[in-house]
Amino acid sequence: MLEKKGNFNMERVIQEFDEVTRNASRVQRDTLKMILEENGDTEYLQGLGLGGRTDIESFRACVPLVTHHDLEPYIQRIVDGDTAPILTGKPVTSISLSSGTTQGKPKYVVFNEELVHNTMQIYRISYAFRNRKFPIENGKALQFIYGSKQFKTKGGLTATTATTNVYRSHQFKSTMRDIQSQCTSPDEVIFGSDFQQSLYCHLLCGLLYADQVQFVSATFAHSLVVAFQSFEKDWEELCRDIKTGVLSSRITNPSIRNAVSAILRPDPELADSIYRKCEGLSNWYGVIPELWTNAKYVYGIMTGSMEHYTRKLGHYAGRLPLVCAEYGSSEGWIAANVDPLTPPDTANFVVLPDIGFFEFIPLRGSGNCALSEPIGLTEVQVGEEYEIVMTTFAGLYRYRLGDVVRVEDFYNSTPRLKFICRGNLILSINIDKNTEKDLQLAVDEATKLLSAEKKLDLLDFTSHADMASDPGHYVIFWELNTDAKDEVLQNCCDCMDRTFIDAGYVGSRKTGTIGPLELRVVERGTFRKVLYHYLSRGTSVGQFKTPRCVGPANKVVLEILNGHVIKRFSSMAYD
């Protein structure tokens, strides 16, 4: 087992993590004290009358719970060039953009070196536990990672996605050299301006170094599924490139073309081997271990809205385990996966008590937040659900993240969390409130009816609360891999309608104040068009998440979906 690589000592990292999690209550007090000492002179905290105090009691008494909407005026001033210490004591180095798939437009989030440091901290911890189970020798990693577009704000700050801010940092490159295998693709591919060209070259470079690849990864499971769906279409052209040593004419970006051409040499033997293996696969099952024989696992974020993609990803991965990545958001990191052998559907994450100050709002009912007083990290109860409140080194104070989690158990004195859903993603027409998790359960139940049909698979889905009709009703959009019988789809529509068990929904359906649920089946490739829409707005494919609920603000996405509907079904009478 390789315990030390470069400056990275696996056992020391795990030992230090065990120490801070044994004393989570004290570490939380110390972490809040450090945050407030570092940022105590900021305009925001000064205006709340904290007066330099750093204890938890004073902090809670003076500082209100906030959402991103409350902080937008302060962040906008920073974006526009105000260099005063508004939210952070340390300089703001750039602006991070959220994906925008949740609210319909990207959020601005302050980014500074503390966030890079926190990212490297959680990477080291997760890698240490992962490497204990799956020892990695010197080799390479096939990583489907992508930079995103950048622009300068009015105040001269660079604005881009959080992942791109991290990928471009010196800390990231140094840490990655120490703790994991080198990426098969050159930087020109990662930061290329054309997603399709970068994806093609990621696959090509991965094949060129196939015998050296020790794991396959992406930020999100969705990116991995997209990659291997593309491989299904492009594998013969990739083989031709390898056989001839000449890069496909589809790669027109000069920097990508030059960088990949520099490592591409004619290799008929490798091309023929790949061709034979691909021809011998049955429906692409196990393509990853078949082509990358030394790969030990497939890695990425696979919880929440990514759960839908794990079945397809498992098909591509075959015998290889799927390992969940860390738990975090555009606003900051929260927890690490310290048990990489746990399957994605039961994965949980241990909160890092020194990465931020965390509070938890107890939840009552199906995702409803009866705004109880938040409690501390070590005060949560096993089996209960909470909304996370985070205070970070990067200018967020008592920030309601919107994530709903359940406490599974404790690792030493810090909780293990299972991500449940985004609490603010709800379908609501009347008095009904259904969360992203409720939608996922309804779709999962309906897709069981598809399993009886040979080779029929749900590729992607989203929802919309249609208020234009009278009465309003839920609309579920499905993209299937092939045609399905109308009878089957009608049954799926009826099944989803009856799987939403929220009392407000059931009552409203019975009284007719909510209309029959509608299933709209869209053409193959429609959700890829949704992806390209977000990419055109600057979202990185590595950060993209299919919006599970499309609100009225997402007019373009609704137009894309409705413009490609090929079948419609309304649920039958509701008993």
Region of 89 on the Ramachandran plot (φ > 0 left; ψ -120 to 50 alpha; else beta): alpha
Tokens encoding 126: 């997760």
pLDDT of the residue at 366: 42
Confidence (pLDDT) at 333:
86
Dihedral in degrees, nearest 10, Cα atoms 55, 58, 59, 62: -160
Q: What gap in Å lies between CA 415 and CA 25, rounded to an integer?
A: 11
Burial letters for 58-73: b for 16+ Cβ neighbours within 10 Å, e otherwise? ebeebbebeebeebee
DSSP classification of residue 509: H
Whole-number pLDDT of residue 328: 82
pLDDT in tens, the chain (575 residues): 233 444 567 788 888 899 989 999 999 999 999 999 988 888 899 889 888 889 999 999 999 999 888 988 888 888 888 888 888 888 877 777 665 555 556 677 777 777 777 788 888 888 888 888 888 877 788 988 887 666 777 766 766 666 666 666 666 666 555 555 678 888 888 888 788 898 999 999 999 999 999 999 888 888 898 899 899 999 999 999 999 999 999 999 999 999 999 999 999 999 999 999 998 888 899 999 999 999 999 998 888 777 778 888 988 999 999 998 888 877 888 899 989 898 888 889 999 999 999 999 998 654 444 457 899 999 999 988 899 999 998 889 999 988 888 899 999 999 999 887 776 657 777 777 787 778 888 888 888 888 776 678 888 888 888 888 878 888 999 998 888 888 888 988 988 888 888 777 777 787 777 888 999 999 988 988 888 787 777 666 666 777 788 887 778 888 899 899 999 998 886 66
Using DSSP, state whether 203 is helix, strand or coil. Answer: helix
Residue 244, pLDDT score: 94
pLDDT the model gives residue 367: 44
Burial-class residue 159 by CB neighbours within 10 Å (0-12, 13-18, 19+).
buried
**Of 46, 36, 98, nearest to 72 (Cα)?**
98
pLDDT at 3: 39
What is the C-alpha separation between 444 and 495, in angstroms, rounded? 10
CA distance 154 to 159: 10
List the structure tokens of 284: 């692409």
d(C-alpha 208, C-alpha 218), whole Å: 19
Per-residue pLDDT at 237: 94
What share of residues in the chain are helix, strand, coil (percent, to 5)? 40, 20, 40
Q: How far is CA 430 from CA 21, 416, 467, in A?
A: 44, 35, 10
Contacts of 6 (CB under 8 A, 6+ apart): 177, 178, 179
Q: Say what the pLDDT of residue 454 is.
A: 67
Strand boundaries in 106-154, DSSP class E? 108-111, 140-144, 151-152
Place of tokens 């031709």: 240
Burial bucket for residue 488 (CB in 10 Å: 0-12, 13-18, 19+):
middle
Predicted local distance difference test score (pLDDT) of residue 405: 87
Give the separation between CA 283 and CA 129, rounded to whole angstroms. 34
Tokens of 345: 């559907």
pLDDT value at position 94? 73
d(CA 404, CA 370): 13
Report how far apart, in Å, the C-alpha atoms of 537 and of each of 96, 101, 232, 350 are: 14, 11, 27, 34
Q: Residues near 571 by Cβ (< 8 Å), separated by ≥ 6?
A: 493, 494, 496, 497, 498, 516, 517, 518, 519
Alpha-carbon span 251 to 205, nearest angstrom = 13
Query: What distance in Å separates the CA atoms of residue 242 and residue 281, rounded to the nearest whole number?
Result: 20
**Could you tell me the pTM of the whole model?**
0.78
Type of residue found at 52:
G
Residues paired with residue 26 on neighbouring β-strands, in sequence order: none
Domain boundaries, the chain: 12-90+357-422, 135-151+182-320, 426-570
**Residues counted in the chain:** 575
